[in-house]
Every structure is written in structure tokens, then in C-alpha cells.
Chains A and B, each alone.
Chain A
Amino acid sequence: MMDFSGHRIAVWNCSIALPFLLLSAAASGADAPPKTCTLQEIVSLDMQTLQTGEFAVPVMLNDLPAQLLVDTGSEYTAITDETAEELGAREKWTPYGGSFLNNVAINEYAYLDSFRIGPLHSSSRWQVVVIPNEILPYTISGLLAYDMMRNYDIEYDFFHGKFNVFMHSECPGSAVYWTHDAFAAIPIDLDRSKHITVEASLDGKPVSVIFDTGSPSSIMSLDAARRLFGWPDADPRLKSLGTEEINGGTSTPLYAFPFATLSFAGVSVSNPQIRLIPQDHFDAGRNHDANIVLGMSVLRQLRIYVAYDEKVVYLTGAEAR
């Protein structure tokens, strides 16, 4: 109905770090299963894929069904203003919020009385950030973020449309169960906003990459790219794509460059479509140093298993079997 191609990567100020409670794996209250080398899947959820490639999963907010867009670019699970109103969740203001890409400020939070994902549920009230309605389609209630996902291992199987949640694996290297073919196992660094950051190679140059399932497309700082590749000011390969009001913020110029290959320790993506925007819109605070925010236009070409405890991301091609 509308173009909601947001880039839902957020940078949070430290002081918002109010306590978030772990989800309990046992809805019945039973103890968590013992840790073993066999992957223990807790729940496999159907992805509701959006028209620009991101996806949402079914959850229960205050015992009401809802869809949350899965966003590795956000530290805190969020609900929209509209959802907060629907749930009667009282919004509170904080001076220590954060911002989404393109400097869209977030300064409100609220509490959910209950939060369920399949058999998982919060053991107490769950604090969520309140975000503008404009960031999401009308029928999506918010964002599922790091604060929940970090408690588990998460697999993104875009080809089959499945969002799989596992208990943390105790056995390094055991995550890739879906293929005997080669895979990449890359250490991840969680930056100060808890973004999954990995090292990669873009056209032979080392880059840091943030995995952002909340962004339909991939974004890089134009200034950082110029420094990295030494492009002249009037490089004819750099094409203007006009302007866009990313996340409903101010209008920002966009550029494209014909990159050839993005490589992750042996797993490569050809012709990655990465849009370039000025540094001031990419990260006004300059408080993270990732060169590329990798969105769904590239991530959908991969099958991804994030082992949060092990701090490794496992990658294969999306269709590997």
C-alpha cells in the first residue's frame, strides 16, 4: 500500500540500558533442557516476508497476536506508537534514547505485561522501545531485536521462510546442520549498540559489515567508501540515485557503485547492491565504525546461523542443502 522501505538500524545511547529480562524457554515453568552437542530447536516460526524482503514473525504481546519485524539492527525490541496505544502500554519519555539511520530520534519506552514467542515467554514485564508508526507497515506491530535474540542461537532460513530458534550450542562448529558443503564460520563482534559485526572483503578491500535484517537494502557511508577505494571526486562509476527520506527523516542523497564481490571467508555474494549515503546521514554521531550496513538485498542470498554465545556467525548460500 505504501513504500515502507525503512532502514531500521539503530544506535542507542548507553543510558537507556534499563533491565531487560530473559525469556524463559519453558512456558510450563520446567527447567531448561541440559546442554548437549545436538542442536536443540526450541521453535521454528514462519517468516511473513514483506514486499521489500524483510520479514516478520508471529508473537503474542499482552496475550494478543501480533507480527514483529525481525531486526538485528536494533538492540531493543520495539513496538510502534499505534501498538502501544492498542495495548494500553503507557509510554514514558527518556532523554537517553537512541536513533535510527538518518538521525530519526527515539525517546519513548513502555512495558509489556507479557511477551511470548512460540513456547517462549517473558518471566516478567518486558521493556520495549516505542518507535514511530512511519517506520513500519500498518500491519506490523514492532521490531524483534537483540535483547530477545541474544538468549538463543538464531537461524535465518530465508529460502524456506523459517526463523528458527535454538538453545545455545555447547559445541563449536556444530551449527551448520543443513548441508555437508563448505560453510563460513566468522567471529562476530557486537558493537556498542549490539549490532552483529563481521569482517569481510569488498572488491578486495577489508570492510566491517553489520548484519541488519531490518533494512531492505544495504548501505555504506559514501565518505568511508571514498577513503577506502580512493575514488576521485567525479568517478563516472558512481551514479546518483536521487534522494530518499530514509526512515521518514530528512532527505538524503543516494548513490550506487558497481561493486563486484562481497566475500565472507569463502562464501561470496556477487554484484552486491550497496547504496551509498553521506556520512552525516549514515551515522551522524560517528559512534560505530562499520563500513557497511548489510540489508536484506544481500542477506537473503545467505543462510545464516548466529551463535550468540559462541560469538560466531555461520554462513552458506541460501539454497545450500
Chain B
Amino acid sequence: MNNSLEVTDLCKNFRDFNLNHINFTLPRGYIMGFIGPNGSGKTTVIKLILNMLKKDQGIIKVFGQDHIHQEVDIKENIGVVFEAPYYIPDWNLMDLEASVKPFYKTWNSHRYYSLLKDFELNKNQKIKTLSKGMKLKFMIAAALAHETKLLILDEPTSGLDAVSRDELLGILGDYVTSEEKSILFSSHITSDLEKIADYITFIHKGELIYTGTKDELLEKYCVIKGDGSKLTGEQYETVIGYTENTTGFEGLYPLKALSGLSANIVTDTATLDDIILFTNRNKVAFKCNTNERLG
């Protein structure tokens, strides 16, 4: 079993939103950034993996096992951190341990309190008195207090300041030092993922736009800026998310096609944020380009 997570042809239909044929694979020992704008379907996919939502079609395998038939065994080895802490606010961090511990065979109280100490959290403190950054830390402590092989994070950095986000990346970096452990990190703050993710899965409006290594994605595209009139018709068609502004135009462009561009067009390195932003403006062109070039 070399993959922590395999999602094949996953579909889920709601009245006003459809998740269409999502495919991705998270190899064991790696971090996958799960990106897309708000409402793109990231949380839906995570809920489907956790069997909170019932899929309409597709196969989900966690550690090579079916996510429904082997649900209990799988969840024994998964740690989940949501954006909000779904705990009773009046609980302190010891109540939390007392209520969650019995569910996990591998729960390690020493590890839980050790993590709280590392995160500078007081075990007597009530959840409602914790700041957002502290809430994230205690949720991570609760998720890592049992033997997890897969950590699923659903928008954990939303609303966090830069310092807390940086601390989180440090914690996650420490976690994946073991080759057994993987992370599925859903976020729309892509700067975090750019630092730590090995793989990227990008979905938009319920459709898979890209899945593969982060480096491959970033090496395929650049941002171009300049005078739009210098572009040929074919080049104009190739630009993803072509946007006019006061100084000219900007858009995403395949690096392979750069050679024919006018010297007046400025090129810049594309970030994941740029890719999401420009794709959001022209998803279809991006998808065609990506599929064509990545085979």
C-alpha cells in the first residue's frame, strides 16, 4: 500500500452544486495541498472521504481500504482538523481528552499533554476562552494524540494571523518526517501550501482542474503582463484569465509557448495564488492547457 488516499471518479450531486468526476491520489509520506476558491467543493470531498456525505458515484480508498466497509479501522488512523472546533465551549482541555480518548485504541495521554505543553496551552483552560490560533493548536493536539497515518485539515488557517500560520506549518513539517504519514491540507490560502505541499489538487466549481506535483504545476506557467496589442490572435487565445487594466493586460501563460512572445511582454513567476486567480477568470482555457500539456 503506497498510497494514503485514492479518490477515483468521485461524484456527488446536490440541488445547487455538483461535484464531478474527482480523481486524485495522495502517496504515502507526502503533503497534498487541496486548493480552490471558496465553494469549490473542497469540504464536500473531505466529508465524502469521512463518509459524512454519501457519494453518488466513485471509489474512495484510504490506506488501500474502502472508506465505508473499513470505516472504523480507517478512522482509527486518521486525524481530522476542521476550521471550527466542534467541541462544547464549556469544556476544558482535560474534558476534551476524557471524552475523546475512549474512542481511540491508540490514544496516548502523555503525547496529548506533551503537545499541549509544546503549544503552550493550559489544560485547565476552557475552549471558549481560547484564541483562534490556540483553538487550532488544541485541535491538532487532539488529532495527533492517537496514532494517525493521515491528517486531514479542512481550511484550518482561515482567519489566522501570519505567525499562527507559520507555527502550524512547522508542526505539520515535523509530523511528516515519518514516511508513513501524509497530510491532505485543504486551504484557499495558497501561500501556506506553496511552502510545504508536495502535491496539489485544484478543484473549481466541483470540477477537477489539476492534480499532480506542485513543482510540475508551477513550472508549467508564468504570469505575463504588458501591452495587449502586442499579442497575436493565437497568443491571446492561449492567455488564461486575460485581464485588462490601466497599465495593459495580465494573464497566465504556458511557459512552453513563451518563445514567440513579443519582447515588450514582461514575464513573472506564477504562484499558486496566481493560478487560482487567473483560472477563476477563465477556467476552461486553463483546463484545456493543463490537460494538453500534462497529458
A associates with B: no
Hey, which bits of chain A sit against chain B, CB under 8 A? none
